[in-house]
Amino acid sequence: MTSVSKSLHWRIASRLLVAWLVLSAIAGSAAYYLEQGRLDDFVSRLVGTEASRISARIAPKAFESQLDRYLPAIEKTLAESRFVGIRLYGAQQKILLERWNTLDAKVAEDVAAHHHRFLGISGKQARNYWIDEKLYIQSVQPLSEGKQTYGYLEGIYQVDAHVTAALIHHIEDVVIAVVVMVTLTSLVLYPVILSLNRQTIRLADDLLQTDLDLLQTLGSAIAKRDSDTDAHNYRVTLYAVKLAEFLNLKRAEIQSLILGAFLHDVGKIGIPDHILLKPGDLTPEETRIMRTHVELGADIVSHSNWLRRSREVVLGHHERFDGKGFPRGARGEYIPLIARLFAVVDVFDALTSRRPYKEPIPFDESLRILRAESGSHFDPDILAAFEKIAPEYYEQFYLADERSLQAMLQNVMAKYFLMEIPG
């Protein structure tokens, strides 16, 4: 299995795993809150029953002045049920009376820290918490007559250990069932998702391959119009990629560099033939017109979302490190890195290549010429890096014919633009 194939399998498996964990957590939480809600409702009904008894025994106006009348009923409730504490509040939410039926002082202390907020809260007034691995539910019911609320009754209920254990086991069973269901679903969906991803990758690669073919065709057309050959575009792109890899540039930067290498002279399409193909020296005015090919090229690629990535190379490959280049006179690190890099390999290949108007300059002499321009035309650090790799790749690329260069370039394109289809 290839690294790309492993990557695709891992991405799909990891995303299914995340979905599995999320669904399991949601189902477990839902089961817990559902069962807890049932317990809350049960305790709220018990507290509500007590509240109804109290409301039936006394008039609202006499509630706070006759608290002793409720004590027998409260004591009986504590003795005959699993309530461990009952508190009565007045209309102003102050505790008027409380009784406890527990030897555990910690329960009363902890419950005291969990007062309800009565005002502005409608609906069920119940919540739960754990104390020493025991589940308690705290519920409040208003004491009212008509629309008038004259007090509140709060009950603290200890859930039976068997009920608590049953709740936990039920949650565990639900979680296990969800895990099993999600696992089975994932196993069924995995090959389907993998197949869809493969189809998507194939379609994306087909479209991208078409774009790359058009890119190479456009680059070839530019080269032929400039009395050049495809070999120059191939070599300069290969040199640029090898230098970029040596400098540890990011994948996205190398992609932009490749596009720029193919299209660096695309603006020459707009230069008149009598200037572009002139065999002799250009006049100052002709030189000015020739130099406009840089901005023409930048304008051409700016109209395509994909080709726009080549703009830094197209616009910056004639800039000089000392700021004496064109079209903007940028200098140093104000020139984009990939443009500074491309300037080195472009000039090197121009020097070592045979052109209609000159013979190729030997390798050592070409490097000497480049070295003489270090710090003026070229970035010294990039040139120093290129000198380290130049001997190896000069032997590899200079002696190769166009077909071999094209094959090497196809491998580079596949590496940086195409995603391998997993088997």
**Paired tokens of 228:** 């050049």
- Find the range with the poorest average confidence among 2-16, 68-82, 152-166, 290-304: 2-16
Tell me: do 101 and 22 sit in the same domain: yes
407: in domain: yes
**Paired tokens of 130:** 């754990």
232: in domain: yes
pLDDT classification of 219: cutoffs 50, 70, 90: low
- Cα–Cα–Cα angle for 383, 389, 392, rounded to 5 degrees: 140
176: in domain: no
The CATH number linked to 45 is 3.30.450
Tell me: do 106 and 249 sit in the same domain: no
421: in domain: no
- Full-prediction pTM beyond 0.75? no
Position 3 scores a pLDDT of 45
Of 94, 268, 278, 324, catalytic: 268
Active site annotation includes 268: yes
The CATH number linked to 402 is 1.10.3210.10
Tell me: do 111 and 255 sit in the same domain: no
Q: Give whichever of 83-97, 155-169, 220-234, 305-319 has the largest mean pLDDT.
A: 305-319
Position 423 scores a pLDDT of 38
Give the end of a domain, one of 171, 186, 212.
171
| Contact (CB, 8 A) for 175 and 183 | no
Tell me: do 161 and 293 sit in the same domain: no
**Portion of the chain with pLDDT greater than 90, in percent:** 29
204: in domain: no
Tell me: do 248 and 390 sit in the same domain: yes
Distance CA 149, CA 142 (A): 6
Tell me: do 350 and 257 sit in the same domain: yes
413 closest CA partner among 210, 222, 249: 210
Secondary structure element (H or E) that encloses residue 21, with its range = helix 3-57
The domain of 367 spans 226-416
pLDDT classification of 186: cutoffs 50, 70, 90: low
Tell me: do 254 and 392 sit in the same domain: yes
Q: Give whichever of 153-162, 164-173, 322-331 has the largest mean pLDDT.
A: 322-331
**Paired tokens of 369:** 């010429």
Distance CA 185, CA 167 (A): 27
